[in-house]
Amino acid sequence: MPLLPIRGPHRSAVIGACVSSLRRAPLLMGLLFGVLGCEGRPPPENPGPVNPCPSGTCGGGQVVRPEGSVRIAAFNVHRLFDTVCDSGKCGGSEYEALPTPGVFDAQVGRLASSLTTLDADIVLLSEVETQVGLDALQARLPEFPHAVLGETGGTASVDVAVLSAFPITSVGSHRDRVLTRPDGSTTRFSRELLEVHLDVNGKEVIVFAAHFRSKVDDDPGRRYAEADTTRTIVAQAAARAPKALVVMGGDLNDVPGSAPITAMERDGQLLRVAKDRPDDQTWTYVYSGQKQAIDHLFVANAAGGTYVPGSFRAAREGGGGFGGSDHSAVLADFLPSP
């Protein structure tokens, strides 16, 4: 759908997206609350002490960050629910968590502390329930004065969001787009596919924050349709802005070689930037003892920006996960067009 300009520093004109630009508070450290894993998956195995490796490649050599590059990260924060029970069924075995204020603050504090270590300019987030959670996280991250939430409006929905060191110029929504499964049936995106345009020192950068259908009560056709349509949407954005850096990322809930990820890479319009790293350095999630790369970053080949070779890395703590989440963060450096 067409992009709409932001009309003020705090709210976007786009339905379902809230933009905030806040004064910050100091960092608050704490521990994460969350017994359930991502959408019912188990918590990370052997989380271990905080020991992220964002400045290197988690086992490989360090790549020097080029001058003028933009560092973009994607991170599933793992069920960041606020302290209000919207569904009327919260806690215990219910889907919606209901943390106490202290537990909520501790989760936000640990997430913020870990995000700071990435030294990212833009972060694509997954699983933020409401604007309250995004505001709380942003308040502890003074390096990100700009933020937008892709709110779907569903009760207890976990949504995508973007944090940015650079001004947001416009926001686009794709949630209402009709998708077609391989069997011909139709569906829609599970969450918002959030399109955010940024002014990075006078250069245009376009990012897409995504979170595809999970494998809990699986609907693989829907996840494939999300991937296939996302490739088209991102490629079209690159064609409209040939001088822009165009990057898409998030928790896509599938691994390289799967039908959805293969669809993303079809025709060479998008580059999965982790392709130049060994498999033992790109995994982001542990399920039933298996290490899986389900969080991804893609760059549009037809646009003006480029990926810095070898700069992709997965930031982990101990045996896996990051910032108390059951997912690692992924990040890479990109160079906007001259």
CATH number of the 4-335 domain? 3.60.10.10
Q: What is the DSSP letter of 266?
A: G
Q: Where are the domains of the chain?
A: 4-335
Q: What pLDDT band is residue 323 in, cutting at 50, 70 and 90?
A: very high
How far is 45 from 326, CA to CA, in rounded Å? 8
Q: Is 322 helix (H, G, I), strand (E, B) or coil?
A: strand
Cα distances from 138 to residues 27, 224, 325, in angstroms, run: 10, 32, 17
Contact 320, 278 (CB under 8 A): no
Instruction: Determine the Cα–Cα distance for residues 82 and 151; give it in Å rounded to an integer.
Output: 14
Q: What is the largest CA-CA distance in the chain?
A: 53
Distance CA 171, CA 96 (A): 28
Q: State residue 217's pLDDT score.
A: 83
Q: Coil, strand or helix: which one is 144? A: coil
Mean pLDDT of 257-262: 98
Angstrom distance (rounded) from CA 150 to CA 195: 9
Taking Cα atoms as reference points, which of 118, 111, 101 lies closest to residue 134? 111
Percent of the chain at pLDDT above 70? 82
3-state DSSP assignment of residue 300: strand
Tell me which DSSP letter residue 299 carries.
Answer: E
CB atoms within 10 A of CB 201: 9
List, in sequence order, the alpha helices (H) in the chain: 101-117, 131-139, 220-240, 259-265
Q: Tell me the pLDDT band of 62, cut-offs 50, 70 and 90.
A: low
* Model pTM score: 0.85
**pLDDT the model gives residue 45:** 39
- What's the rounded Cα separation, in Å, for the pair 117 and 73? 11
Residue 106 pLDDT > 80, yes or no? yes
Q: What is the torsional sign of CA 194, 307, 336, 313?
A: positive
